[in-house]
Homo-oligomer: A and B are copies of this chain.
Amino acid sequence: MRKSTCKVSVRGYELDSFGHVNNAVYLNYGETAVWNFFHSAGLIDATLGSDLFPVVMESTQRYMHELRLFDEVRIESEFKGSNGLVKYKHLIINESTGLVSCKIKGKIAFVNKERMICDVPDEVLEYLESDTDEH
């Protein structure tokens, strides 16, 4: 299992007509966390450079406290390989209040150009399983 953290700021156009961040935008934030994780891990080539590409198979969001304009947001993520999928959890945290705004958990599969589900690329799997954070 691997952990990572990334930060985003709420942008004005992400608010909906209720003046808070629209529920779909949390998936954008989560996706940003996933890309940043693959990027910092040096896994972009392994995830995008091959014939495979990652697709979200499932996602569940629990919305707990709204986010508003100019809120600074920290996303704490966990990733692990499991049964041919990458599973992730995100805590989307409002940095000024410390409150968890949204919890996301989801699953990514790797598919080929014919949209067949394939194994998680070895390089990704090895990275996820060799957590050096604990040493």
Q: How many copies of this chain?
A: 4
- Among B16, B23, B39, B61, the residue within 8 A (CB) of A16 is B16
Residues 68-104 of A at the B interface (beta carbon under 8 Å): 69-70
- Among B24, B27, B61, the residue within 8 A (CB) of A31 is B24
Main secondary structure of the interface of A (DSSP, over half): mixed
CB distance from A50 to the nearest CB of B (A): 13
CB contact under 8 A between A12 and B24, given known A58-B61, A58-B62, A63-B57: no
What is the size, in residues, of chain A's interface with B at 8 Å between Cβ atoms? 34
Interface residues of A (CB under 8 A from B): 8, 11-13, 15-19, 22-25, 27-28, 31-32, 34-35, 39, 53, 55-63, 66, 69-70, 115
With A11-B31, A24-B25, A60-B61 known, 4 other A-B pairs at CB within 8 A are A12-B17, A13-B22, A23-B27, A35-B70
